[in-house]
Amino acid sequence: MPILACSVEDVSHTPGKLTRGMCPKHYQRFRKYGDATKVHSAPRNSVPAEDALRLASNGGRSISSAQDAKKLSRSSLTCCECGKKMWEHKTSAPQGIAKCLDCRIGDGHNLTGYKHGCRCDACKASKAEKNRKYKEEFRAIHGIGPSSKWKRDNGGMPPRVEWIDRKVRRTIYERDNWICWLCNEAVDDTALPRSNYYPSLDHIIPRSKGGDHNPENLRTAHMYCNAKRRDLDASKVGDLFGWKKAAPICSPV
């Protein structure tokens, strides 16, 4: 492969690296400034070498810009346990309470959680102790534990099913023999909520069209069928689900 030289500067390049006869460096200058020979001459925002060394010794890291120097000058926090200097942030705890990462996690292991954290005996004991303290503080504020408060706030069930009582819901399921009224297939009471076969209640007259929560206006339906129908008028449901077809509608996706 022949070797060509940049038309701006006598530097050899392979033909594939030349654009309009210019090497990549000069071509980018041409695109940015319209002049391939122009060099950006604005001074860098830097500090003298002696100041950089002084700041580096203060923070334990090299500083090359004035912006970093200003940040370092504000790093007045020290760990309340080991005395290590720390960067100060708007969300940092106040001096005397703030702790460094190593002190916050105790023995230095990863305590981000049971799924990704360390599972050694020391870490499990430390995590259990933190959970115990959290529950004690929560109980001192609210008078009950976190789980009890959640159940009382949500009626013992997730908020998404609060619109009808669980006993009434089950009564309607049994009334309909656990059969989806849209596809005429059985629902699965043991399925997970994300399953297509999970039971739900569908409004014959949709809520958006004036329907209410009266049991006479509710029918058992698969979660998938309920979502597929949306607020379609009841007179058009048969065409959507093909009630004359034998194939089931609620096959998993």
For residue 99, what are the contacts with CB-CB under 8 A and spacing of at least 6?
Answer: 79, 80, 81, 93
Mean of pLDDT values over 17-36: 79
* Highest-confidence segment of 2-11, 93-102, 147-156: 93-102
Q: Which pLDDT score is estimated for 56? A: 53
Confidence of residue 20 (pLDDT cuts 50, 70, 90): confident
Nearest alpha-carbon partner for 196 in 150, 251, 235, 114: 251
Residue 42 in this model has a pLDDT that exceeds 60: no
Residue 60 in this model has a pLDDT that exceeds 80: no
Q: Is the alpha carbon torsion for 165, 168, 174, 179 positive or negative?
A: negative
In tens, the pLDDT along 160-219 reads 545 788 889 999 999 999 999 999 999 998 888 778 899 999 999 998 888 898 999 999
Does the pTM surpass 0.75? The reply is no
Mean of pLDDT values over 232-242: 85
Q: Which residue has the higher pLDDT, 1 or 253?
A: 1
For residue 213, what are the contacts with CB-CB under 8 A and spacing of at least 6?
Answer: 163, 164, 203
Distance between CA atoms of 225 and 16, rounded to whole angstroms?
Answer: 58
Q: Which pLDDT score is estimated for 174? A: 95
For residue 180, what are the contacts with CB-CB under 8 A and spacing of at least 6?
Answer: 186, 187, 220, 221, 222, 225, 250
Q: Is the alpha carbon torsion for 184, 190, 196, 199 positive or negative?
A: positive
Q: Which pLDDT score is estimated for 121? A: 79
Q: What is the mean pLDDT of the chain?
A: 75
Residue 45 in this model has a pLDDT that exceeds 80: no
Nearest alpha-carbon partner for 218 in 201, 243, 200: 201
CATH of 159-241, one of 1.10.30, 1.10.3470, 1.10.287, 1.10.20: 1.10.30
Distance between CA atoms of 214 and 72, rounded to whole angstroms?
Answer: 65
Q: Which residue has the higher pLDDT, 225 or 18?
A: 225
Identify the residue whose tokens are 């392979």.
Answer: 14
Confidence of residue 249 (pLDDT cuts 50, 70, 90): very low
Where does CATH 1.10.30 sit in the chain? 159-241
Angle at 176 between CA 175 and CA 181, to 5 degrees: 155
Beta carbons of 187 and 170 less than 8 angstroms apart? no
> Out of 28-32, 43-47, 222-226, 236-240, which region has the weakest mean confidence (pLDDT)?
43-47
Q: Which pLDDT score is estimated for 216? A: 93
Residue 82 in this model has a pLDDT that exceeds 80: yes
Distance between CA atoms of 189 and 199, rounded to whole angstroms?
Answer: 6
